[in-house]
Amino acid sequence: MGDDGSDSNYIIRVRGLPWSCTEEEILKFFDPIEVKGGVDGIHLATKDGRFNGEALIEFDNAEDFAEAEKKHNKHIGRRYIEVFPANKNELDLLRQGENSSGDTDDSCVRLRGLPFHCSKEEIYQFFSGLDIVPNGIAMVTDFQGRTTGEAFVQFDTKAGAEKAQDRHKEKIGHRWELITLRIAITW
């Protein structure tokens, strides 16, 4: 891990947040657990420029991460919040969306219907001939770390993502894929 902690593997994905939720409310939800960097450790996911009720939260250590996982199905107001482990690739994709002028967001596609045993290498092969950014595949996992059959793939250009859509309903293994162009990074 770097001195600035940028390589942290203690990342949680939360889902079900009220759309009006702020970073400060998320900090309160996790209190007394320390979020890495306070509000700077909270990364809100957006769709079409609006918060979509999901976020990635960074923690400094395994103890805080483990305590954060215990918040699964706890409430903010009347909404129960789902808490799942996330990975650095998901955070990197979300940060690219946060820091871009909009062009990067147009180059992300969502895959659904993946075989549960599908690997990133199989996804690279599925999209052979198209350029995927380094670490540009994020496999979605459940709260136990098992794959859910979904993944996000970040291509180097919008045109690459559009070409990827031509493979909609093609097969990986024995299952066909649903490929959706995402205008913003979402989970």
The Cα 15–Cα 55 span in angstroms is 7
- Same domain as 103, residue 173: yes
The Cα 82–Cα 53 span in angstroms is 11
- Same domain as 109, residue 82: no
- Same domain as 173, residue 106: yes
- Same domain as 159, residue 113: yes
pLDDT above 90: percentage of residues in the chain: 32
Is 151 within a domain? yes
The amino acid that residue 113 corresponds to is G
Is 113 within a domain? yes
* Predicted confidence (pLDDT) at residue 143 exceeds the cutoff of 90: no
pLDDT for 1-33, tens place per residue? 444 444 568 999 999 998 888 899 999 999 999
pLDDT for 87-118, tens place per residue? 888 888 787 765 544 444 578 888 888 888 88
User: Residue 98: its pLDDT value, please?
Assistant: 57
Q: Final residue of a domain: which of 65, 86, 107?
A: 86
- Same domain as 82, residue 26: yes
Query: What residues have CB less than 8 Å from 24, skipping those under 6 apart?
Result: 39
The Cα 162–Cα 156 span in angstroms is 11
- Same domain as 163, residue 114: yes
Q: Domain limits at 137?
A: 99-182
Residue that has been written with the tokens 């895959």 in this structure:
111
pTM over 0.75: no
Is 4 within a domain? no
Q: Which helix (H) or strand (E) holds 62?
A: helix 62-69
Is 3 within a domain? no
- Same domain as 106, residue 80: no
Total Cβ atoms within 10 A of residue 70? 10
Q: Final residue of a domain: which of 51, 86, 121?
A: 86
User: Residue 102: its pLDDT value, please?
Assistant: 43
Is 29 within a domain? yes
CA 55 to chain centre: 8
Is 122 within a domain? yes
Is 141 within a domain? yes
Please indicate whether residue 75 or residue 19 has the higher confidence score (pLDDT): 75
Cis peptide before 32 (omega within 30 of 0): yes
- Same domain as 47, residue 103: no
Is 61 within a domain? yes
- Same domain as 66, residue 20: yes
Query: What residues have CB less than 8 Å from 33, skipping those under 6 apart?
Result: 59, 64, 67, 68, 71
Domain count, the chain: 2
Domain with residue 104: its CATH number is 3.30.70.330
What backbone torsions phi and psi does residue 30 show, to the nearest 5 degrees? -90, -10
